[in-house]
A and B are shown apart, each in its own frame.
Chain A
Amino acid sequence: MANFNIDSKKKRTFDAIVIGSGISGGWAAKELSEKGLKTLVLERGKEVNHGDYPTTMMQPWEFEHLGQITKEMKDANPIATKCYAFGEDSSHFFVKDADHPYIQEKPFDWIRGYQSGGKSLLWARGTQRWSKYDFEGPARDGFDVHWPIGYDDIAPWYSHVEIFAGISGNKDGLESLPDGEFLKPHEQTCVEKHFTDQMRKHYNGARPVIIGRCAHLTDPQPIHYQQGRAKCQQRDLCQRGCPYGGYFSSNASTLPWAKMTGNMTMRNHSVVNSIIYDEKKQKAVGVKVIDAITKQEIEYFARIIFVNGSTVNTNIILLNSKSSRFPNGLSNDNGLMGKYIHFHNFQTTISGEYEGFLDKKTDGIRPNGSYIPRFRNVKKQETDFLRGYASGFSASRTEITNRDGWGEELKNNLFEKKYGNWRVGSHFMGETIPKITNYVKLDETLKDQWGIPQVRINVAMDDNDAKMAKDFREQLTEMYTLAGFTNIKASGRNGWNPGLDIHEMGGVIMGKDPKTSQLNEWNQLHHCKNVFVTDGACMTSNSTQNPSLTYMALTARAANHAVEEFRKGNL
């Protein structure tokens, strides 16, 4: 029996454990296993191997409800169904509300994907680098906590992940949005080009409008073929999973790569309950897992642990990792873990029409749009609110369906070929200020079905957010007007709560000072150095870029540091 236990413990011991197989966990798994570390990936959700995409080849007419969500699904999932990507073709990749309850002290739409690959199957693939101004922002504007790293620290790691993931974009040469290692860019539409030109003219280059940068293989390189991926076929059905591996997902890219090294073991249905801390060794020695199906408890051991459960889950796991040394959660000596949750403000939009280029249209499909990098307060403070916003911009033209008439007349009308005006629109992505009052914490009594405390979420917008949203509406209205657009409508989005941006960040943030932050410049917990946090939880601030590219770069950087420290015997 004793021998059996030793054997069994040996089998459950690895060099490194990665919690979560989403965008960030996939990168940790790839880097660690590629560098020769025996790596165990623990994923709470079901197994989804690349290609396990049941709806991906379905034609529009093959869906029972032509894509519409049923009433039963909507009633049972008031939160998940708010996500624009939740449809008849993709609902199987979203967490259902009832299975995973949480407590909203204030309204928070928590959108989750629990499976191999996490939300990397579902994301919209927008990928922009941060600039030095973004990293310097918190110090310049007097935030509570400042970044311990700057652009130069992360730039080589941006390159590292861009080359492997495959990011398409144009070298625009902008200081506020550094260029990356780009594959061929998508093309702007006539009206997008017109807008770019008009803005250049009216604002003397201060408000560039560029083609979006996104994780699509427009021009695959040998490194992508080696992953088994091929050129994007421009279907724009990505939320179903892509059979060609045309966009970056953990499933198509990092996970199979890690598997190919022979050093990665993946265990699905493995809900990590907490991290085990050894008081004598003064470090973490493993994790406690609840099997999602049998509910049995199993322990796994390793010298390095990467926590990549996505922001809120990472906070839950660490807060739930209590020991006599750390009664309030692992390494949480300052009591600030779970605080400083931040997000992107998406709460407003604008739309309009353009009556020019009426002899032109677009042809084919583009899984991308144009993009307006942040132009407010970039180098110095200019407005009555802090920070700024980025915006999407797209202009397209579709055929109008003439629905007039009845019977044969209607039928003939439906076969008319007619185009309307160009339609233009922008969404708003505002930086929010991390605040101690925006937090997640564990409920003291309520648990989920795996015995893990339910999380209480208390996150709200503030006056700065409202002022910034107003500025977006005013500035974009001005820009649209200057470009000659008409029928301009700027409005707030009712019922849009924090969380629905799906860019939730913070709670376990990086900083220079252990008194005010949880992680050092290498994403190590200040008081438990062999635990690394590299998903959204680590973010000191959020700036205005889509966040995942930065999670990838931080993860690759931290994983390579971890391997060096491991080899030196420091972990």
Chain B
Amino acid sequence: MERRNVIKSLGIGILGLGQLPSWANNWNSDGLELLEFENSEIFSKIVDCLIPETNIPGAKSVGAHLYVEKVIKDCYSEQIQNEVKQTLEILNKESIAKHQKPFEKLDNLQAVDLLKNNTSNKKTVEFLKNLTIRSYTSSEFYLTNHKNYQMAPAYFHGCVEI
């Protein structure tokens, strides 16, 4: 119940920024009931510390935390899901041991520090980083502002100066 409300309010908060993809807007509490991750907020902290908000939107503004959670749940094997769960637990334990608070309450520098120095779960941390990058670099913000993305360019030039 509590988890649901948190994400709901998160959703509304982010909606205000206008960067969230439409599929994320369609998320409703029914869909969320199926999630297996006990601690969804930790994904917010992970994507936020990896690609923080600056004068331009970061990973959280584009909904990367929602994507990461969803894609792991829907597209990856149970084994990978378990590895992710374990890694999140370990990050949380380390956070409490070092900073006396759960991972999602850390400031971004503290959180990034734990991620990059985590040696026992390097592979999974790398995986989460790649998913975050994938979400960010597929976002409307990134593709239209940085990549000049056009769905239908209507031309092709095989050889142009850079």
Residue count of chain B within 8 Å CB distance of chain A:
49
Interface centre among A187, A357, A410, A415 (most CB of B within 10 A): A410
Known interface pairs A71-B75, A407-B108; A64-B23 also in contact (CB < 8 Å): yes
CB distance from B76 to the nearest CB of A (A): 6
In the complex, chain B residues 107-162 whose Cβ is within 8 Å of any chain A Cβ: 108-109, 112, 115-116, 129-130, 133-140, 142-143, 146-147, 149, 151-162
Compute how far the CA of A189 lies from the CA of B158 in the bound complex, rounded to whole angstroms: 4
> Restricting to A44-72, which residues have a CB under 8 Å from any CB of B?
57, 59-66, 68-72
A65 contacts which chain B residues (CB < 8 A)?
A: 70-71, 74-75
Which residues in A have their C-beta under 8 angstroms from that of B156?
A: 186-187, 234, 362-366
Given contacts A63-B23, A66-B138, A401-B137, contact A360 B160 (CB under 8 A): yes
Specify which chain A residues have a CB less than 8 angstroms from the CB of B147 in the assembled complex. 399
Closest to B20 in A: A61
Write out the residue numbers on chain B whose beta carbons fall within 8 Å of the beta carbon of A4: none
Q: Tell me if A188 is interfacial: C-beta within 8 Å of chain B.
A: yes
Q: Does B5 contact A (CB under 8 A)?
A: no
- Give every chain A residue within 8 A of B52 (Cβ-Cβ): 407-408, 411
B140, B142, B158 — most chain A CB neighbours (10 Å) = B158
- Docked-complex contact A64 and B70, CB < 8 angstroms: yes
- Say whether A190 faces chain B, with CB atoms less than 8 Å apart: yes
Given A186-B156, A193-B158, A365-B153, 13 new contacts (CB under 8 A): A61-B139, A62-B21, A65-B71, A187-B159, A234-B153, A235-B151, A364-B153, A364-B154, A364-B155, A366-B156, A406-B112, A407-B51, A411-B54
Number of interface residues of A (CB under 8 A): 46
CB neighbors of B among A323-377 (8 A): 357, 359-366
Cross-chain contact A66 with B140 (CB below 8 angstroms)? no
B49 interface residue per 8 A CB criterion? yes
Q: Given A235-B151, A359-B162, answer yes or no on A60-B143 (Cβ-Cβ < 8 Å).
A: yes
B-binding residues in A (CB < 8 A): 57, 59-66, 68-72, 186-190, 192-193, 231, 233-235, 237, 357, 359-366, 399, 401, 403, 406-408, 410-411, 414-415, 419
Give complex CA distance A401, B129 in Å: 13
Complex alpha-carbon distance, A365 and B143, angstroms: 15
Given known contacts A62-B21, A68-B75, A415-B146, is B54 in contact with A408 (CB within 8 Å)?
Answer: yes
Contact A71 B157 (CB under 8 A): no
Kindly provide the distance from the CB of B54 to the nearest chain A CB, expressed in whole angstroms: 7
Q: Which residues of B line the A interface, CB within 8 A? A: 21-23, 49-52, 54, 58, 62, 67, 70-71, 74-77, 108-109, 112, 115-116, 129-130, 133-140, 142-143, 146-147, 149, 151-162
CA distance A72 to B71 in the complex (A): 12
Q: How far is the CA of A71 from the CA of B81 in the complex (A)?
A: 12
Contact of A71 among B50, B76, B130 (CB under 8 A): B76
Chain B proximity of A374: nearest CB distance (Å):
24
Q: Which residue of A lies closest to B136 (CB)?
A: A414
Chain A residues with CB under 8 A of B67 = 66
Q: How distant is the Cα of A254 from the Cα of B109 in the complex, in angstroms?
A: 61
**B residues less than 8 Å from A357 (CB atoms):** 159
B74 → chain A closest CB, angstroms:
4
